[in-house]
Structure 1
């Protein structure tokens, strides 16, 4: 039985919040859909000392996403906001949750940066 096709498009929004840059995405993250997020995070890391990744609308993320987040973390101060259970599980299993700053919301991540 053929698998239903899914929309590989990833919707990326970006905006300033306090003294940081927020990169918000909507959609599933895997090797096929990751390039727009990768471009956004790389540009943000070059231009902002703190980057907030809003993962609140990401129902699925694979190991390629984890790799990108760790690369971004090495390039700037990365905050992850609103991670959904599946992404949180990937971070916990790999131990990345101990290295990355996790916040329940973008507001919390931005407030932590401002204080």
Structure 2
């Protein structure tokens, strides 16, 4: 059985790409998330709207950390928006919360200042 992690791309009109992630983030779905982010990741910010994530294990966390590093490597950044309580706990316990820009809502994340050195958005 192939696991599916539904990911919707929000229309952002020159702003950071926003991906809405739904369901479980684990071993079976990590590659789906990685592929989706890599598709939109260039030298810009990618926001993951995690409102509807129901579970995240160490595989999901490792995927987020790899994607953060990849974003940095191309001059962009990865922002987390609205991680659910269980996921926020995982980020906090592991210390990963200190390396991500985390916002409580997607609207707040969309208003985040650009990464230093990022090209202006139009």
The answer, yes or no, to whether TM exceeds 0.5 is yes
Matched, 1:67 2:62: yes
Q: Structure 1: where are the runs of 5+ without partners?
A: 1-6
Map 1:19-98 onto structure 2 (within 5 A). Answer: 19-45=15-41, 47-76=42-71, 77-98=77-98
Give the conservation status (yes or no) of the 8 Å contact 1:20–1:113: no
Q: Which residue of 1 aligns with 2:112?
A: 112
Runs in 1 of length 4+ with deviation above 4 angstroms? none
CA 22–48 in structure 1, closer or farther in 2 if over 3 Å, else same = farther
RMSD, aligned α-carbons: 1.7
Structure 1 residue 35 displacement after superposition: 2.2
Q: Alignment partner of 1:19: what SS?
A: coil
Give the conservation status (yes or no) of the 8 Å contact 1:20–1:48: no
Q: Structure 2: where are the runs of 5+ without partners?
A: 72-76, 115-122
Give the conservation status (yes or no) of the 8 Å contact 1:21–1:48: no
TM-score, normalised by the number of residues in structure 2 = 0.79
TM-score, normalised by the number of residues in structure 1 = 0.84
How many residue pairs end up in the alignment? Answer: 107
